[in-house]
Amino acid sequence: MASGIFALLDDIATLMDDVSVMSKVAAKKTAGILGDDLAVNAEKASGFVSDRELPVLWAITKGSLLNKVIILPVAFLLSAFVPIAVTIILILGGLYLAYEGAEKVYEYFVPHHHESKVDLDEKLSKDEILKREKEKVKSAIVTDFILSVEIIIIALGTVEGSPITTQIVVVTIIAILATVGVYGIVALIVRMDEFGYKLIDLNEETNSFSDKVGRLLVNALPMVIKALGFIGTIALFLVSGGIFAHKIDFFHHLLPESIPSFIQEFIFGIVIGFIVLGILSLVKKILKKS
């Protein structure tokens, strides 16, 4: 009886050691995409009156957790019974990431009309405000679903071949950390300007230390979101290029080995991204004409 208990404890210790190692690997692989996740969600959680930003963010967070609850069982079932499907989804996710990155670059150099943002000074009834909030929350949750699929599949790809128990624990940990980490940081970002205004109003002096720090925080918010967007775009190319380089044999020796792997991955990501962007743009034009 005692030997059985010790054997069980030894198995648990081994499992936890494997989980710790694989979680670190999975975290590194998925960290790149979190910059884009941060930028997207910071943008979607901003633009509301200050007392509505956190309730909106909490609604998005609950939607994100529900997304994980839906995606995780499906991902584990595919890994257990149709493992090739995980690789296929991973490559499709890579194509989407590369396309999204290329679209961001294209829109930066070739600006075009976007739907106008909500004017905070616009006179709206309470029902209209709540309706717009719901629409923006719904849009954010849909975007989160796509990003969650990518994060979970990438994490699952890093534990490919491991026992199903290890896969479940590692990927679940990554999914929870991604949600808590991303939305926790987003909450700090979207409230940064509010904290800045409180510092400015802290005393009646016009140019005190608190005023300077407050103005710095207020002015830094849009720059922080832009910086996250830039980092996120680079990450999209690196993550997608890494998927192509490691999951498709054709790309293994396509470029000289003297070129660093991260540069190779960036090249694969940006080239394939613009190819996908060009194909989809052409298809859209054909469908529009027909």
More confident residue, 120 or 77: 77
Helix (H) / strand (E) element for 163: namely: none
pLDDT digit string (tens) for 181-204?
888 888 888 778 778 888 888 777
> Per the structure block, which two tokens stand in for 8?
């069980």
Residues in the chain: 290
Tell me what the pLDDT averaged over the chain comes to. 78
Q: Is the pLDDT of residue 207 over 80?
A: no
Say how many domains are in the chain: 1
Q: Angle at the Cα of 156 (from 155 to 161), degrees rounded to 5?
A: 130
Asked if the model's pLDDT at residue 58 lies above 90, the reply is: no
Secondary structure letter of residue 169 according to DSSP: H
pLDDT per position as a tens digit, 75-113: 888 888 888 888 888 888 889 889 988 998 998 888 665
Q: What is the pLDDT of residues 127-151, one digit of tens each?
A: 777 787 788 888 788 878 877 887 8
pLDDT higher at 134 or 20: 134
Give the pair of three-digit tokens for residue 90: 């991973």
Cα 37 to Cα 228: distance, rounded to the nearest angstrom? 9
pLDDT for the residue numbered 115: 47
Contact 14, 162 (CB under 8 A): no
Is the pLDDT confidence value at 9 over 70? Answer: no
Q: Please state the rounded mean pLDDT for residues 34-63.
A: 71
The residue with greater pLDDT, 141 or 52, is 141
pLDDT at position 247 over 80: yes
- Give the number of C-alpha atoms closer than 13 A to the C-alpha of residue 9, restricted to the C-beta side: 6
pLDDT of residue 126: 67
Mean pLDDT of 275-280: 96
> Looking at this protein, which amino acid is placed at residue 53?
E
Cβ(103)–Cβ(270) under 8 Å? no
User: Where in the sequence is the domain holding 94, given as residue range(s)?
Assistant: 2-289
223, 259 in Cβ contact below 8 A? no
| Cα gap 124→228, rounded to integer Å | 31
Task: Supply the pLDDT for residue 102.
Answer: 94
